[in-house]
Chain A
Amino acid sequence: MSAAPTTEIKPAPPAIEKIKVKVDGRELEVPKLTPDWQGKLALTTMLQACDIAKKDVPHYCYHPKLPVAGNCRMCLVEFGTPALGPDRKPVMNPDGTPKIAKSPRPAISCATPISPGMEIYTSTPGVKQMREGVLESLLINHPLDCPICDQAGECKLQEYSVDYGQSASRFVEAKVHKPKAVDLGPRITLDAERCILCTRCIRFTKDVAGDDALGIVNRGSYNTIATFPGLPFDNNYTLNTVDLCPVGALTSKDFRFQMRVWFLKETKSVCTSCATGCNVLISSREEKIYRYTPRDNDGVNGPWMCDAGRLNYKWIQREDRLKDVVVRGEKSSWTVALSEIADKLKQAPAGSVAIVASARQTNEELWLLSKLKAKLGAISDSVQRIGKGDNLLVDEDKNPNTNGARLTGMSFTEMGINLSKIAAGISCGEIKTLIVFGEDLLMNSVKSDKLRERELTSEVVNEHGLTKELLGKLDTLIVSDILPNATAHYAHYVLPGCAHAEKRGSFTNRDGRVQKFMQAIQPKGDARAEWDFLHDLVYNVTGKKGFLTIEGLFNEMAKDVPAFSGLTWAALGDNGVTVKI
């Protein structure tokens, strides 16, 4: 057995010197240096020390993955350092402890580094008063339109108002009114009145997305976030500013007035739009998906994700989804279809079956198909999808599980190389049965504007020789897909499958990180998770019993596939495990 897989491939970081500080009277050792927003080591700040001490320090402008700006002043804390005598030696109390000289002024904990022996006070009456003051000042011109604000429920201003706010405003003056519902870009709406000018969005677009699109215009109370006149805010990462915005100033046009956030059920999942496999939370209510939001995973996507992936969920809820099992054009049932298919496959001579798997299927499903492939001596491959990538998150490979398809042996290093062989096999009559999972074979090297909605992010799929005439020559064409397509139209058996949001499973991303995802909603109609019915089919054909749960299935797969050896479903955790590819 190979060495146990590790979560990170990086070598262990060199030991970092630890220093002792006291947070609210509790002494603890914290590393002197901590990775900053870029991952470079920098002096640990008071806020990070408080974090280690599990003491919440409220903050708006600070974000662990953004440069520190220190402008909201919400994280002010009081602190003291060991007093030094005239001889530059620490002054001692009568009981032998170092005397602490309390700083006469507070400091913003997000930007003040700690020093040895420092004492931080986060819950003194003074600190509480400062927070109340900062909050009151932020609320001077805030419109308080929570009932119509999409951020309500996940708004830091609301949360801190509960903790430190006054029940009534002391201001009698008219509030400064700023533009509302400003069209900032194709996906973003700005409400300038709600903005507390923390500049998180500005720092994100400039320093992370690399598009210096946002800035602050006007002076004093009239400060407003704006883009350069005439230039829309439309890079591929704009929706991250919506997540970053601690208030409801930047809101998503897609999610605008769709649902209140407190109704949404959050399910841990993985984005399927490219091989990066960004970790996401699927927010759903009553079997309807409302949005994707990125889920923190420093090994993959950090706290970000791209707009294209984030908005690529609507196809799951399309009305024309495949919902029925169809046998030769007639609506049928799973029992009938699966037993007929099993009978046919059992009688099929070796070499007469071809399988086109999809690199959008999960590891477990691909593994089950590989069992079928081994039993039938079938030829197999999957379809490659290539699009534009960038150097932040988006990968050129638009299949979420390319590596899974390779590791389970369903495709090869060069994906799609066997497709023309399959075409040749069909045309010379050698291949009589074709099993297609989640791919439209009649879509040949198609440009993005011609693609189905589901293919939103990809530009080109493989070029191969499969045509509808060739498909017509087949004795049996078995197709499993989610949305109707041309291949399914010619199929003898149509098996309705599930989108990733409707089932559990795992993907192997571009770096070989195996990540599991959970079920958010129920499948539509008769649709069943592919691993579920494939398990039945494989059992019927090979006679080998498998597991009826995804956990058992994954563990069984891990024993069988060398690359996954040592893995278990439970050990994948929320953030996945990297295997060698």
Chain B
Amino acid sequence: MVKLRDVCRHVRSKQAGPFWITFDIFFDGRENFERYSQSAALSSAQFARLYGTDPARVKHIPVADLEMVKISYPRATPQGGMVERDMHAGQQYVRLLDVVLD
């Protein structure tokens, strides 16, 4: 059972403007990038399930030179709104670390 945390050297999340959140998933080496960057576990449906976003709006952009994937999605609730718990979205990546890739 391989989890995201086992095949990445760095994973981060951050706000990209007030209405989007972006994840940068840096794989550990070319082999892991090629094997897992298109994994169903990193699909739009997964982000919709974990983060309550509209799956149709999730952007999934591999950057081969950096052996990473950028995944961006619109916030489910506005930045700084009534139920805000993570203004800069810098802690959102943690839930992804234990996602099982295969």
| A in complex with B | no
**Contacts from A to B (Cβ < 8 Å):** none
